C-alpha cells in the first residue's frame, strides 16, 4: 500500500494535550475531535489540513495521556500516516489499534521539512522524499503487529480470534 | 538441573501470568489481567469498541473498575452524556466496581485504597497513570480505549515484555522532601522519554522507609519519563497497606537478585532539595533554591499524584493559622471520599476553609483543565498534579509549575513559589 502526501512538521515531545486538548474530551465524535486537532499548537492545522497529508515529528510523539482521541483526531483530520523519530508507547499502541499507520524513522523525520511531499510504501516501510529524492527505511514492525495492521486494527483482529476459538 | 534464568519484577509477574518458566525482554505475549480500568472520558470509546467485538458479556464482572472522575460530578451536558453511557454499561453488564459520584474518588487514589490492585497483579487501564499501582507491587500500565475494550471482553491483552531501569535511592531525605520531589528530580535527570518502553524499579535504602502515599506519588509519574510501569518491590510497608484492604489473594513478587537491567541509576537523595518543574515539561525540574521569584495566581493541591491523606496533612500543617495570599486562589481536592471524610473529621477541612482555600469533592477537575480551576491567559499555577504541558490546565498562554504539597501550600501563602521555610513564624 503506497501513500503520498504533503508534510506537516513538528518537533520533539508533541504531547496528547497538544494533539487534542483535554477540554474537548467530553465527546468521542470523530468530526468534533478533528475540528480541534492540534489547535493549541498550530492554529493553521485545522483550516489547511488536506486528506492524505502526513505528520512528521521528532522524538516521543504522542507522549502524555492515554487518550485514544489523539490518534482518532489525527486520522479524522485526514492524516494518512505519522512518521516520527520515536513514538510514546501508548500512542504507538493506540494508533495501530485504530488503524492509523505510523512509522518510526529518525533519519527521515530529521531530514523532512514542512511542505515536502513524502511517498510511503507501508508494507515495505520505505519512505521517499519526493522533493529531495532521498529514500529511507523505517524500523520494521514485529510480525504480530503486521497481523494486527492487516486485520485493520485490534478489534477486527480480536473478533477473528474469538470466532476461531468458538468456531 | 537446568540453569535458572534470573528475571526482573516485570518479567516475573508477566511470566507468572502467562504460565511460563521464563520470559525474555522483547517477547510479545498475551497476558491475562487481574483488573481492567476505565474512566468517564476513556470508557465511552471503549464501550463503542466493545460493542463492535460482538460479545455479550464481560470477562469477569468483578475485575473491571469504572470511575467517573475526570469531568464528574458532570461539568456540562456532554460530560453528563459520557457518564451516563458508562453508568448504563455498568448496569447492563453487572460491573461490580462501578463507583458513582458521591462514592468515588480519583481512580488512581481509589483503586489502591479499595484493595482492588494488589502485589503481583497485572493491571491495565485506559488512563496513562494506571502505572500508579506499581507502588503496591503490581505490574500496571496505561493503554488506550480499544485495548481496554478487548481486555474487558477477553480478560487478556497483548504486551511486549519491557526491559527495566533500576533506580537506587540512598541517603537521608532533607526536610520537606517527599516522593514528589524525588520523582521530579528523577524525571529531570532522565528526561520525559528516558524510560520509554521500559519498566522502572524504584529501590534502595531511601525507598525502604518511604510511606505508601509517597510511593504512589512516585509510581504515578513513571509515565512522565515515558515508562510502561514504575514498580516498588513489595515489603513490610506494602503488606501493612494491602492486608486490611485486599479481598482476594495475591502473589507478591520481587525481582531476582541477579536480574539483568537495562541501566542502573544511583541517586543520593540527601542532595535533593524540594523540587519544582517549570513549564512546559515535567523534566524541567529545578531545585527550589534556583526557582527565583515566580508570582502565582493559583495553587492546586490534589490529583492522583498528591491528593492522598499524607499530602493533605502536609498542606494543612502549612496552612493552619495562615491565610492564602490575597492574589492567589488555593484549591484543595482530596483524592477520594474516604480521604475527604477523614479531612472533615480531623479538622483539615476547617483549616483549609479558614485559610481561604476551596475544599472540593474528589474530581480530576483542574488537573486536565476540565473545570474547578481552569487558567486564563497569562495566569500561573503551582500544582501538585503531574503534567505541565502547554494548555494543560487552561489557556495556551497559562503556565503550570509542578511541585509537592508542601511547596504548593507554602506558595499559596507567599503569593510566589517558595517553601515552608520562607514562611517564618
Ligand atoms: S488527576 Fe489528572 S492525571 Fe490523575 S487521572 Fe485525573 S486527569 Fe489524569
pLDDT in tens, chain B (425 residues): 456 799 999 999 999 999 999 999 999 999 999 999 999 999 999 999 999 999 999 999 999 999 999 999 999 999 999 999 999 999 999 999 999 999 999 999 999 999 999 999 999 999 999 999 999 999 999 999 999 999 999 999 999 999 999 999 999 999 999 999 999 999 999 999 999 999 999 999 999 999 999 999 999 999 999 999 999 999 999 999 999 999 999 999 999 999 999 999 999 999 999 999 999 999 999 999 999 999 999 999 999 999 999 999 999 999 999 999 999 999 999 999 999 999 999 999 999 999 999 999 999 999 999 999 999 999 999 999 999 999 999 999 999 999 999 999 999 999 999 999 999 86
Interface of A with B in 102-161 (CB under 8 A): 142, 144, 153-155, 158-159
Identify the pLDDT of residue A151: 87
Whether residue B300 has its Cβ less than 6 Å from ligand 1: no
DSSP state of A63: B
* A10 and A55 Cβ atoms separated by less than 8 Å: yes
Tell whether pTM > 0.90: yes
* Cα–Cα nearest to B218, from B233, B198, B232: B232
Is the C-beta atom of B304 inside 6 A of ligand 1? yes
Calpha distance B151→B138 (Å, rounded): 17
Q: For chain B, what is the HEC assignment?
A: CCCCCCCCHHHHHHHHHHCCCCCCCCCEEEEECCEEEEECCCHHHHHHHHHHHCCCCCCCCCCEEEECCCCCCCCCHHHHHHHHHHHHHHHHHCCCEECCCCCCECHHHHHHHCCCCCCCCEEEECCHHHHHHHHHCCEEEECCHHHHHHHHHHCEEEEECCCEEEEEEECCCCCCCCHHHHHHHHHHHHCCCCCCCCEEEEECHHHHCCCHHHHHHHHHHHHHHCCCEEEECCCHHHHHHHHCCCCCCCCCCCCCCCCCCCEEEEEEHHHCCCEEECCCCCCCEEEHHHCCCCECCEEEECHHHHCCHHHHHHHHHHHCCCCCCCCCEEEECCCEHHHHHHHHHCCHHHHHHHHCCEECCCCCHHHHCCCCCCECCCCEEEECCCCCCCCCCECCCCEEEECCHHHHHHHHHHCECCCHHHHCC
Residue with the smallest CA separation from ligand 1 atom 5 is B304
**Is A88 part of the contact surface with chain B (CB cutoff 8 Å)?**
yes
Of the candidates B44, B149, B387, the beta carbon closest to that of A28 is on B44
CA B242 to centroid of ligand 1, rounded, Å = 23
Q: Taking 80 as the threshold, does the pLDDT of residue A166 lie above it?
A: no
Are A21 and B228 in contact (CB < 8 Å)? no
The reply to whether ligand 1 has any atom less than 6 angstroms from the CB of B122 is no
Distance B312 CA to ligand 1 centre (A): 17
Interhelix angle B309-319/B212-220, nearest 10 degrees: 100
Please tell me which of the candidates B28, B192, B391 has its beta carbon nearest to residue A63: B192
Domains located in chain A, CATH noted: 2-166 (3.20.19.10)
- For residue B134, give the DSSP letter: G
CA–CA dist B233, B310 (Å, integer) = 21
Q: In what order do the strands lie in the sheet with B263-268?
A: B229-232, B199-203, B164-170, B263-268
Ligand 1 center to B333 CA (angstroms)? 12
Nearest residue of chain A to residue B374 (CA atoms) = A23
**Which CATH topology does B9-266 take?**
Aconitase; domain 3 (3.30.499)
* A26/B41 touch (CB, cutoff 8 Å), yes or no: yes
Least CA distance to B395: which residue of chain A? A40
B144–A67 C-beta distance less than 8 A = yes
CB-ligand 1 contact for B386 (6 Å cutoff): yes
Contacts of A142 in chain B (CB under 8 A): 28
Contacts of B75 in chain A (CB under 8 A): 26
The rounded distance, in Å, linking the Cα atoms of B310 and A55 is 44
ipTM value for the complex: 0.92
B73 against A167, higher pLDDT: B73
Interchain CB distance below 8 Å, A154 and B146: yes
Give the nearest chain A residue to B78 (CA atoms): A26
Q: Do B42 and A67 touch (CB under 8 A)?
A: yes
Query: Does residue B303 line the site of ligand 1, with CB under 6 A?
Result: yes
Q: How do the domains of chain B map onto residue ranges? A: 9-266, 276-423
Supply the pLDDT for residue B138: 98
Note the pLDDT of residue B425: 65
- pLDDT tens digits, one per residue of A111-153: 999 999 999 998 889 999 999 999 999 987 878 888 888 888 8
- Judge whether B145 is closer than 8 Å to chain A, CB to CB: yes
Is B393 a pocket residue for ligand 1 (Cβ < 6 Å)? no
| In contact, B418 and B410? CB cutoff 8 Å | yes
Instruction: Please check whether residue B276 is in contact with residue B288, taking contact to mean a CB–CB distance below 8 angstroms.
Output: yes
Task: Tell me the count of A-B CB pairs closer than 8 A.
Answer: 131
From the list B48, B127, B369, which residue is nearest A22 (CB)? B369
Contact list in B for residue A69 (CB cut-off 8 A) is 41, 45
SS3 category, A135? strand
What three-state secondary structure class fits A18? Answer: helix
Contact list, A17 vs chain B (CB under 8 Å): 368, 387, 389-392
Residue A3 is predicted with a pLDDT of 93
Whole-number Å distance between alpha carbons of A56 and A77? 15
Res A1 pLDDT > 80: no
Decide: B70 in ligand 1 pocket, CB within 6 A: yes
For A28, counting Cβ atoms within 10 Å of its Cβ (0-12 exposed, 13-18 middle, 19+ buried), the class is: buried
Pocket test for ligand 1, best of B72, B107, B112, B127 (most atoms within 8 A of CB): B127
pLDDT for the residue B17: 98
CA distance B412 to chain A (A): 25
Count of CA atoms in the C-beta half-sphere (13 A) of B114:
22
Residue nearest atom 6 of ligand 1, based on CA coordinates: B364
Those of residues 21-80 in A touching chain B at CB distance below 8 A are: 21-23, 25-28, 40-41, 59-60, 63-69, 71-72
Q: What is the per-residue pLDDT for B1?
A: 45
- What is d(CA B283, CA B402) in angstroms, rounded to the nearest whole number? 10
For ligand 1, pick from B41, B99, B303 the residue to mutate: most ligand atoms within 8 Å of CB: B303
Give the mutation candidate from A17, A43, A91 for the B interface (greatest B CB count, under 10 A): A17
CB of B144 within 8 Å of a chain A CB? The answer is yes
Domains B9-266 and B276-423 share a fold: yes
Q: Is A165 helix (H, G, I), strand (E, B) or coil?
A: helix
Position A59 confidence tier, pLDDT thresholds 50, 70, 90:
very high
Fold of B276-423: Aconitase; domain 3 (3.30.499)
Query: What confidence tier does A16 reach under pLDDT thresholds 50, 70, 90?
Result: very high
Going through B161-271 in order, the beta strands assigned E by DSSP cover 164-170, 199-203, 229-232, 263-268
Amino acid at each position: 500500500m503506497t501513500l503520498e502526501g504533503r508534510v506537516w512538521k513538528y518537533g520533539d515531545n508533541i504531547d496528547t494535550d497538544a494533539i487534542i486538548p483535554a477540554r474537548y474530551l467530553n465527546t468521542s465524535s470523530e468530526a468534533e475531535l478533528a475540528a480541534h486537532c492540534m489547535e493549541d499548537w498550530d492554529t493553521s492545522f485545522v483550516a489547511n489540513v488536506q486528506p492524505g497529508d502526513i505528520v512528521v515529528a521528532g522524538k516521543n510523539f504522542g507522549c502524555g495521556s492515554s487518550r485514544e482521541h489523539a490518534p482518532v483526531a489525527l486520522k479524522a483530520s485526514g492524516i494518512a500516516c505519522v512518521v516520527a523519530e520515536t513514538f510514546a508507547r501508548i500512542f504507538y499502541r493506540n494508533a495501530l489499534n485504530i488503524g492509523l499507520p505510523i512509522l518510526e524513522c529518525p533519519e527521515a523525520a530529521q531530514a523532512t521539512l514542512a511542505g515536502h511531499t513524502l511517498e510511503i510504501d507501508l508494507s515495505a516501510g520505505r519512505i521517499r522524499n519526493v522533493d529531495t529524492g532521498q529514500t529511507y527505511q523505517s524500523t520494521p514492525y514485529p510480525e504480530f503487529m503486521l497481523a494486527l495492521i492487516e486485520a485493520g486494527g485490534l478489534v477486527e483482529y480480536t473478533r477473528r480470534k474469538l470466532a476461531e476459538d468458538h468456531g | 538441573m537446568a540453569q535458572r534464568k534470573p528475571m526482573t519484577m516485570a518479567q516475573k509477574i508477566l511470566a507468572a501470568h502467562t504460565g511460563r518458566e521464563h520470559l525474555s525482554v522483547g517477547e510479545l505475549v498475551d497476558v491475562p489481567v487481574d483488573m481492567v480500568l476505565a474512566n468517564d472520558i476513556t470508557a465511552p470509546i471503549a464501550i463503542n469498541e466493545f460493542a463492535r467485538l460482538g460479545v455479550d458479556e464481560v470477562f469477569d464482572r468483578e475485575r473491571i473498575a469504572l470511575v467517573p472522575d475526570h469531568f464528574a460530578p458532570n461539568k456540562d451536558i456532554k460530560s453528563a452524556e459520557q457518564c451516563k453511557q458508562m453508568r448504563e454499561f455498568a448496569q447492563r453488564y453487572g460491573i461490580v466496581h462501578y463507583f458513582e459520584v458521591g462514592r468515588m474518588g480519583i481512580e488512581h487514589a481509589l483503586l489502591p485504597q479499595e484493595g482492588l490492585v494488589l502485589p503481583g497483579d497485572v493491571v491495565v487501564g485506559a488512563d496513562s497513570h494506571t502505572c500508579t499501582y506499581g507502588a503496591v507491587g503490581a505490574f500496571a500500565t496505561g493503554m488506550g480505549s480499544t485495548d481496554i475494550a478487548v481486555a474487558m471482553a477477553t480478560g487478556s491483552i497483548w504486551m511486549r515484555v519491557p526491559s527495566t531501569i533500576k533506580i537506587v535511592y540512598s541517603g537521608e531525605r532533607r526536610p520537606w522532601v517527599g516522593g514528589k520531589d524525588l520523582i521530579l528530580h528523577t524525571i529531570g535527570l532522565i528526561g520525559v522519554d528516558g524510560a520509554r518502553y521500559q519498566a522502572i524499579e524504584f529501590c534502595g535504602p531511601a525507598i525502604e522507609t518511604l510511606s505508601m502515599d509517597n510511593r504512589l506519588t512516585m509510581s504515578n509519574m513513571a509515565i512522565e519519563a515515558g515508562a510502561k510501569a514504575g514498580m516498588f518491590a513489595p515489603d513490610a510497608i506494602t503488606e501493612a497497606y494491602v492486608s486490611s484492604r485486599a479481598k482476594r489473594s495475591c502473589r507478591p513478587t520481587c525481582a531476582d537478585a541477579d536480574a539483568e537491567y537495562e541501566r542502573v541509576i544511583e541517586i543520593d537523595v540527601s542532595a535533593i532539595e524540594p523540587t519544582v518543574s517549570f513549564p512546559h515539561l515535567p523534566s524541567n525540574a529545578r531545585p527550589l533554591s534556583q526557582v527565583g521569584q515566580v508570582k502565582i495566581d493559583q495553587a492546586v493541591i490534589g490529583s492522583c499524584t498528591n491528593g492522598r491523606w499524607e499530602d493533605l496533612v502536609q498542606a494543612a500543617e502549612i496552612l493552619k493559622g495562615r491565610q492564602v495570599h490575597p492574589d492567589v486562589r488555593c484549591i484543595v481536592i482530596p483524592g477520594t471520599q474516604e480521604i475527604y471524610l477523614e479531612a472533615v473529621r480531623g479538622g483539615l477541612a476547617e483549616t483549609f476553609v479558614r485559610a481561604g482555600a476551596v475544599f472540593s469533592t474528589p474530581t480530576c477537575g483542574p488537573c486536565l483543565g476540565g473545570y474547578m480551576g481552569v487558567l486564563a491567559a497569562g495566569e500561573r499555577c503551582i500544582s501538585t498534579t503531574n503534567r505541565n504541558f502547554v494548555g494543560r490546565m487552561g489557556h495556551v498562554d497559562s503556565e503550570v509549575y509542578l511541585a509537592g504539597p508542601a511547596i504548593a501550600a507554602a506558595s499559596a501563602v507567599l503569593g510566589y513559589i517558595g517553601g515552608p521555610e520562607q514562611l517564618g513564624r
